[in-house]
A = this chain, B = another copy of it.
Amino acid sequence: MACQTNNLPPVTTRAEQREETRERIVEAAVECFSERGFRGASTREIAGRAGTNQGLITYHFRSKDDLWKAAADRIVGQLEARIRERLVRLGGEDPRTRAREMIREFVRFNAGHPELFRFMVEQGKSDDIRMRWLVDTHLKRLYEAIPQLGLGAEGPLKPHAFYVLVGAGSVLFSVAPECRRLTGLDPSSQDAIETHADLVARLLVP
């Protein structure tokens, strides 16, 4: 029962507990929002998946809207961290090898985090306040960093190349349940991931 006495410092502080709970809620929010969209996701289901109750969500995040922003920050932050990490380890490879390997890593990320693409499609569909926030706060920064990754296609083809890369490298994993039933292929298998990464990389950087 009593794991802590009054005079000993607690094993986890209140600040730690706070962060832990917020973390669990945001993680569940990323899943729900990307699966069901903003309207379709209910704060009760999010609370349930996080193992707590609906009241706590409005305590930690003022509103459903603010929770959605926290979820967006999280999934985009994970992508950026992954890209940075891969960039420093690539060092001075030649440009084409760098570009191919960055594409492969992008595909691998999508395999592990299908929520990113689900989230982006979910929000990009209608010209509402959340789409504008997502573009202005995160996507513009990502989009303008593309040349630094060694991925070419500046000029008028850039938007086309961008959405070809995003689409070709993400959809397979974002509709994984459908893919399993439709084709028999399990997109989460290591073999499928590497095959897809290689296919997309070779198509875009021949």
As a 0/1 sequence over residues 36 to 80 of chain A, the CB contacts with chain B under 8 angstroms (1 = contact) are: 111111000000000000000000000000000000000000000
Contacts of A121 in B (CB 8 A): 118, 121, 171, 174-175
Q: What is the minimal beta-carbon distance from A166 to any residue of chain B, in angstroms?
A: 6
Q: Is the CB of B124 within 8 A of A174?
A: yes
Q: Is the CB of A179 within 8 A of B163?
A: yes
Given contacts A37-B36, A40-B39, A181-B131, is CB(A169)–CB(B167) below 8 Å? yes
As a 0/1 sequence over residues 152 to 196 of chain A, the CB contacts with chain B under 8 angstroms (1 = contact) are: 000011111111101111111011111101111100000010011
Instruction: Give the interface SS of chain A, mostly helix, strand, loop or mixed.
Output: helix
Q: Is the CB of B124 within 8 A of A203?
A: no
How many residues of A are in contact with the other chain, CB < 8 A? 61
Q: Is the CB of B195 within 8 A of A172?
A: no
Q: What is the minimal beta-carbon distance from A137 to any residue of chain B, in angstroms?
A: 12
Interface check A35, CB cutoff 8 A: yes
Which A117-144 residues have a C-beta within 8 angstroms of B? 118, 120-127, 131-132, 134-136, 139-140, 143
Residue numbers of A with Cβ under 8 A of B are 34-41, 114, 118, 120-127, 131-132, 134-136, 139-140, 143, 156-164, 166-172, 174-179, 181-185, 192, 195-196, 199-200, 203-204, 206
